[in-house]
Amino acid sequence: MYKSRNLKKIKNIKEGAPDAMAAFVAFDKLAMAEGAIPKKYKELIALAVTFTTQCAYCIEVHSASARRAGVTDVEISEAIAVTMTLRAGGALAHGTHAFESEQTD
């Protein structure tokens, strides 16, 4: 299902919903701009989120942007490890719901 060329179809959305897309693009630029959190760290955050949401398009876009911001393979590897830990931790915590409660909630 994932085809990089599909990103070119974003123009269809821009044509169909120009105001919404303009607002999205402006919001994206503001959120990802250099600020209290450096752009490099914002891109690492974005990568961790995209690994969790498993959006191949976002991984492609933010991997390239992260590299432009100076992110290294080692930093990406650590971001992957952090993401893995949080996903596993979520499974652990939510797994506790499978056991009968000892108390009435």
Pair 19, 63 in one domain: no
Pair 70, 49 in one domain: yes
Tokens 């250099």 sit at which residue? 34
- How far apart CA 80 and CA 82 sit, in angstroms, is 5
- Going by C-alpha positions, the residue among 69, 65, 67, 56 that lies closest to residue 7 is 56
Q: What's the DSSP call for residue 71?
A: -
Q: What is the pLDDT of residues 4-30, one digit of tens each?
A: 888 899 999 999 999 999 999 999 999
Pair 53, 92 in one domain: yes
Q: One-letter amino acid identity for 20?
A: A
With contact defined as beta carbons under 8 Å apart, do 67 and 99 qualify?
no
- For the chain, the domain total comes to 2
Pair 27, 42 in one domain: no
DSSP 14-66: HHHSHHHHHHHHHHHHHHHSSSSS-HHHHHHHHHHHHHHHT-HHHHHHHHHHH
> What's the whole-model pTM score?
0.82
Residue numbers of the domain that contains 84 = 37-96
* pLDDT surpasses 80 at 70: yes
Pair 73, 24 in one domain: no
Q: Residue 80: what pLDDT?
A: 97
Pair 24, 60 in one domain: no
